[in-house]
Amino acid sequence: MANTVKINIDGIDVSIEAGKTVLDAAKKLNIHIPTLCYHEDLCVAGNCRVCVVEQEGVKNLVASCAMPAQDGMVIHTNTHKVRNARRHVIELLLSEHNADCTKCYKNTRCELQDLAGEMVINEHMFLDLVPDKNYTIDNLSPAIIKDDSKCIRCQRCVRTCDELQHVSALGVAYKGEHMKISTFFENPMYEVVCTNCGQCVIRCPTGALVEKNYLDNVWDAIYDEDKHVIVQTAPATRIALGEDLGMEAGSIVTGKMAAALRRLGFDSVLDTDFTADLTIMEEGTELLTRLKRALVDKDPTVKLPMTTSCSPGWIKFIEHMYPEYLENVSTCKSPQQMFGALAKTYYAQKRGIDPSKIVSVSIMPCTAKKFEANRPEMRDSGYQDVDMGLTTRELAVMIKQAGIDFKELPDEKFDSLMGKSSGAAVIFGATGGVMEAALRTAYEIVTGREVPFKNLNITPVRGMEGVKEAAVKIENVLPAWSFLEGVELKTVVAHGLTNANKVMQAVKNGTADWHFIEIMACPGGCLGGGGQPIPTTPEIRKKRAEAIYREDEGMAIRKSHENPEIKQIYEEFLEEPLSHKSHWLLHTHYQARKRE
């Protein structure tokens, strides 16, 4: 075929699509070539040279990740020359690497460590340069730790921050032996444009970038008999946690996760999905209110399109990059923060517990949630609403520390009172999920009928395409919503901040006519979050998304407004969406930040 090329690798012929690399061809043959700077989500860099192979007729070794496969090539992946070159590259990296592996958070999960083990590097061939390097550790951020002593300068983080996220908080500074990965004027990550999304963390091959962990803090709270420790779990955790505990990607572990959390000692095991449903009630009502102000009241101050506010990485992005559009952001807090505010008010009141004794812990697929929990705006309960945020990975560590055989756990349910949810809440974990959940409810509120999509599945907003547009024609509305008769509600969904930037540029240029925008900071949405199990690849993200939609379809309730615990909290506490109490506890405003 004209669009394929044929090459020979280690004596085996293989045909592959033109434009693919030698590394791609080797993968097709299940021949393992080690890599460090290469990542499926990123452009080719060829920095590390660990993937070198020998090509017949070519004097120098070639980087297989960067070399296009060409017809007639003969490649050798395991010659003496290749093995020595790879070994020397690893040894040179180790000479500048703080190899105190047993004290490293990435111990046994480090790609450099794995390669050193594969090559049986037992002693230093080169001088240990670590004592002569003035390495620094930046641990000022509540979300991410940057340790230069463990950096191998593969630049995965730089490419991630630039290509996937359009942020460029990290860059290459200096040259030669002084070259390092740094921030603007070498400021702490906490003080620069970093959105805390953690995409750099899940692509870093070593322990140079890791989440700040709060494991000991949570254990201390659990062991403190004077504290009542409650835990909430985000939608995307239940379809990824199993990966770090010996299960296949795409395994749904909701029941086992609830059981594990009880065995860890949490006093109440609750669900962020409850406040995801609550978010839909508040955010959907806010959107309808803005539309009424625009279409009926002709209010020139109303801000449309309205954007979602669930993703803290997106919130920090717009604070830095598009602060003039902050009023377009929904005032709703994220489900995590709604839950935190209610935990120390509604929950405390219902359970008769002193809120000062409640420790609120969240399990999130996201490192930015750690930053969000520490924002000064998130203290409307009179306390810090969420005390500690753990990633999915950190929960897996806790389960291992406790000696729990996760795969053998029975399936258990969440506790009642802020523990019941709908399928609409589950799909918050995938890109397009918030939009789909909102449309399921808003359309039914306005028309009295279910959305006109088979089995409630609004497929136009699903999938991994970077930017997805969808429109829903509103017809035969209820009398109270007559102003929406015939309106075509125009929506757009974006995931990954590079795509978010495209959407916001369209808004800024006046070329967009959307009413409602959903943006998630991470590729694939929360299921690809910076706190999820590593690796996170396109194939793994696909499996996680499929699991989320299976979980939704298996739920007895699939619309947020039908959740009985949502009805209960409005009857007993909040009164109605956008009430005074709702605004006090569930809504907030954000701040413009410098772009540097």
Residues annotated as catalytic are 283, 286, 310, 330, 369, 372, 377, 526
**80 vs 522: CA distance, rounded Å:** 42
CA-nearest of 233, 272, 280, 251 to 551 is 251
Structure tokens of 548?
């989320």
CB distance 491 to 516 below 8 Å: yes
What token pair was written down for 475?
Answer: 């017809």
3-class DSSP state of 312: helix
Q: State the Cα–Cα distance between residues 29 and 31, nearest whole angstrom.
A: 5
State yes or no: cis peptide before 535, omega within 30 of 0: yes
Q: Which two tokens stand for residue 354?
A: 């002193």
Whether residue 305 is preceded by a cis peptide bond, meaning omega within 30 degrees of 0, is yes
Strand, helix or coil for residue 488: strand
CA dist., res. 320 & res. 594, Å (int) = 6
C-alpha–C-alpha distance, residues 481 and 489, integer Å: 14
d(CA 205, CA 192): 23
Report which of 280, 234, 271, 236 is spatially closest to residue 435, judged by C-alpha positions.
280
Bridge partners for 468 per DSSP:
493
The DSSP string of 40-72 is TTS-----S-TTEEEETT-SS-EETTTSB--TT
Dihedral sign from CA coordinates of 413, 415, 421, 425: negative
Could you tell me whether strands 228-233 and 209-211 are parallel, antiparallel, or unpaired per DSSP bridges? unpaired
Token pair, residue 318, equals: 């717009």
Sort strands 52-55 and 12-17 into parallel, antiparallel or unpaired. unpaired
